[in-house]
């Protein structure tokens, strides 16, 4: 279960565990709920996350796509170096903000 913090201009979602296939469906639901119930920027805080697999990346991209339909932004912060390298290789840092830990 992710920790979700709402403020006026952004919503922060902290999965607190690796974003992999085994938790992806629940995480996707939490993200889409956060997108629907908030305004402004959605921030995914990957503090404590050591691994993101292809299914997890798909969930993050789906959140970005949902946000971009309503001219809102996605930020992914506290990204471990290995995961940051993966995001950069896939050029995801050109679609949304990715900040290394």
Q: Please give the pLDDT value at position 7.
A: 86
What are the CB-based long-range contacts (under 8 Å, 24+) for 82-89? 82/50, 83/46, 83/49, 83/50, 83/51, 83/52, 86/52, 86/57
Chunked mean pLDDT (size 10), the chain, 101 residues = 90 96 95 90 97 97 94 97 96 97 91
- How high is the pLDDT of residue 88? 97
Q: State the pLDDT at residue 39.
A: 87
Walk me through the domains of the chain, giving residue ranges and CATH numbers.
Answer: 3-100 (3.30.750.24)
The predicted pLDDT at position 8 comes to 84
Q: Are 72 and 34 in contact (CB under 8 A)?
A: no
pLDDT at 37: 87
Output the pLDDT for position 85. Answer: 96
pLDDT at 15: 96
pTM more than 0.85: yes
Confidence (pLDDT) at 97: 97
């Amino acid at each position: 279960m992710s920790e979700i913090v709402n403020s006026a201009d952004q919503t922060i979602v902290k999965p607190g565990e690796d974003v992999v296939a085994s938790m992806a469906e629940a995480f996707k639901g939490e993200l889409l709920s956060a997108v629907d119930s908030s305004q402004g920027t959605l921030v995914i805080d990957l503090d404590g996350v050591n691994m993101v697999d292809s299914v997890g990346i798909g969930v993050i991209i789906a959140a970005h796509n949902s946000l971009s339909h309503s001219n809102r932004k996605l930020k992914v912060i506290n990204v471990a170096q290995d995961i940051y390298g993966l995001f950069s290789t896939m050029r995801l840092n050109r679609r949304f903000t990715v900040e290394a830990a």
